[in-house]
Structure 1
Amino acid sequence: MGVAIRAADEGDRDLVVRLLDDAFQDDPVSGWVFPGEEYRRTTHQRLMAAFTDIVLAEGRIDLTEDGTACALWLPVPADSHDADDDDDGPARLRLGVDPDNERVELIGRLTQDIHPAGRAHAYLWMIGVTPKRQGEGLGTALLRHALDRCDQEDLPAYLEASSARSRALYECLGFELTGDPLDLPDGPRMWPMWREPRA
């Protein structure tokens, strides 16, 4: 069964935000950033909206034609860690999303610290599938679509897996652990993963 995939645009913004909000309500990292079910349900979507806006402006969002799954990708240049432009990014994100929640900023700083430097690559920021469609292969189809693009461009890919289940999926698609896992303070573990392009 083929999955039709297209690049999202500004007209898809609200759909993508809703999709990510639904898909990540039960994610371990989202639960750490926004502890408490009611708090998460009322606040989490603001972070998903901020992420969507950043990627619409600077990267690419792959979206299934039926609007049930999406993947957010950012291009990372080889010299990205040589500039200090992003140092205030996590603080600005916190200010815009949830000023009293230091974990919004902390997750940005911690993932920034483990992000590989020195080689241009595609960064999978997030991939989400609406809960009622999870387990149908939509996430895998989105990943294969983007990884084919990476292979054609001879470009590595990088991500942080936020659960053991997603880590296993990424390993099946050629990602390997790189560096040490990130243990969030009093929270879950994240696994940085890298994939070399394939001929």
Structure 2
Amino acid sequence: MAKITRLSEAEAATDIIADAFGNDAISAWLIPSARDRMPIQRRFFGMYVAHALHHGVVYGIHESGELVGAATWFTAPFPGIPGEEQVIAAFAGENAGRYGLLGRKLVRLHPQVPHHYLNFIALRPGRTGRGLGSLLLEEHHRRLDAQRMPAYLEASSADSRRLYLRHGYVDMAEPLRLPDGPVMYPMWRAPASV
């Protein structure tokens, strides 16, 4: 039986998110060197998980007492990370320019009306395809529906886009095509009637 809790520490959620996304197409575009990718991305994801602990909410999903997934949500507008560009430059080095480009593109797409933003949702390898991601989404969606609050995200793959479509999200703009890189899908979910 899966159990969802709010997490209060960044490390375990960061590990799950880094394992899930650390070598995906977006990460490979951000950091072409496979050797450098995971250490840099672990710092990047950790920075956002820590920020969500203070300015959002971090959920964990547990199976048999083991943390197997995590999701980070922010209420928009949310405060930026102080000195974010300098922090990223310090750990990303020559890759910082790609982070900056992606960040600017995402900011331009981000809706300017009140909503909740799904920053990351991830499951440990081998735990996908069993409905756990849906449970994590539904946990927060119930709160959003009760508050009549919409949600926004950028799906990082066609597979994740299909998951979000099943949960009431719709494409809200043309896909974001990174230069010589992968595609992201900005998506919006209107609150369901309660």
1:38 matched to 2:27 = no
Q: Secondary structure at the match of 1:141?
A: helix
Separation in 1, partners of 2:101, 2:135: 31
**Contact kept in structure 2, 1:90 and 1:104, CA below 8 Å:** no
Range 124-133 or range 85-94, more displaced: 85-94
Partner SS, residue 99 of structure 1? helix
Relative to total residues, which structure has the larger strand share, 1 or 2?
2
Alignment TM-score, normalising by the size of structure 1: 0.88
The one-letter amino acid paired with 2:44 is: L
Does structure 2 conserve the Cα–Cα contact (< 8 Å) formed by 1:93 and 1:105?
Answer: no
TM alignment of 1:19-98, pairs within 5 A: 19-65=16-62, 66-77=66-77, 86=80, 91-98=85-92
Q: Is the 8 A contact 1:25 1:40 kept in 2?
A: yes
Share of identical aligned residues, percent?
Answer: 34
Instruction: Give the counterpart of 1:113 among 89, 94, 108.
Output: 108
Q: Distance in 2 between matches of 1:108 and 1:62?
A: 24
> Which whole-Å CA distance do the structure 2 matches of 1:109 and 1:38 have between them?
26
Which is worse superposed, 185-194 or 30-39? 30-39
Decide which of 166, 184, 194 is 1:190's aligned counterpart.
184
- 2:123 corresponds in structure 1 to 129
Aligned-residue Cα RMSD (Å) equals 1.9
CA displacement at 1:138 relative to structure 2: 1.1
| Corresponding letter in the other structure for 2:45 | M
CA distance in 2, matches of 1:164, 1:9: 31
Which one of the candidate residues 150, 175, 181 is aligned to 1:181?
Answer: 175
Q: Distance in 2 between matches of 1:183 and 1:198?
A: 30
In the alignment, residue 110 of structure 1 is paired with which amino acid?
K
Please tell me whether the aligned partners of residues 154 and 197 of structure 1 are also in contact (alpha carbons under 8 angstroms): yes
Q: Which residue of 1 aligns with 2:147?
A: 153
Distance 2:25 2:103 in 1: 16
Distance 1:150 1:76, change over 3 A: same
Partner Cα separation in structure 1 for residue 6 and residue 24 of structure 2:
25
Where has structure 1 moved over 3 Å in runs of 4 or more?
85-90
- 2-structure distance, mates of 1:4, 1:92: 38
TM-score where L is the length of structure 2: 0.90
Q: Secondary structure at the match of 2:126?
A: helix
Q: CA deviation at 1:71?
A: 0.5
Partners of 1:21 and 1:9 in 2: how far apart? 18
Structure 1 contact 90–109 (Cα < 8 Å) conserved: no
Q: Which amino acid aligns with 1:104?
A: Y
How far 1:93 sits from its partner (Å)?
4.3
